[in-house]
Amino acid sequence: MDPTIVAAYVSGGFAVIGPILTYFITKAYERRFLEPIGRDREEALNGNWQGTIVQSTLTADIDIRLHAKNKEVVGEAHLRVQFDGVVHAITLAVTGGFLHDRFLKLDYKNTNRGTIQFGAMVLELAPHPSTMEGQYVGYGSFTESIVSGQILFTKKPT
């Protein structure tokens, strides 16, 4: 076979395989500090949570559905916030995991691709795992600035 054709096949193979490998290596690197989630923590965390966000200039209601498996927690949050007299509904995708068994770190991002809103929250799952409390920091799409505040979640009965 012509060496230029072989070189083209090899180059094409690396062009396809390279990004796939990069994706999986990046995901593994991002999860390196997360601890495996035990069955008790998994059961405590999985489900629907209802909460309140308190920021210096506003208060908002938030509902979040979380699913934990292995080392990762994923979910979707629905935020209702009043800004300039108008109630807005926001959907956030959340991902993260546990650090030191009871501390849950979640990153969030607005699911509307055109909206710039993202951040992170650190929550402590209480010893009686029906509440989580913590802090968040991020970029707010309405305030167009760095925002921070407190979060309190209560687990909804199933």
Q: Span 39-155: which CATH code?
A: 2.40.128.120
pLDDT string in tens for the chain (158-residue length): 677 766 555 566 656 665 555 444 545 545 556 777 888 888 889 999 999 999 987 889 999 999 998 889 999 999 998 888 889 999 999 999 988 878 999 999 999 999 999 999 999 988 888 999 999 999 998 889 999 999 999 999 87
Q: State how far the alpha carbon of 156 is from the alpha carbons of 120, 126, 141, 142, 145, in Å.
A: 23, 15, 28, 28, 32
C-beta separation of 50 from 65 below 8 A: no
**Paired strand residues for 146:** 139
pTM over 0.85: no
Count of beta carbons in the 10 Å neighbourhood of residue 158: 6
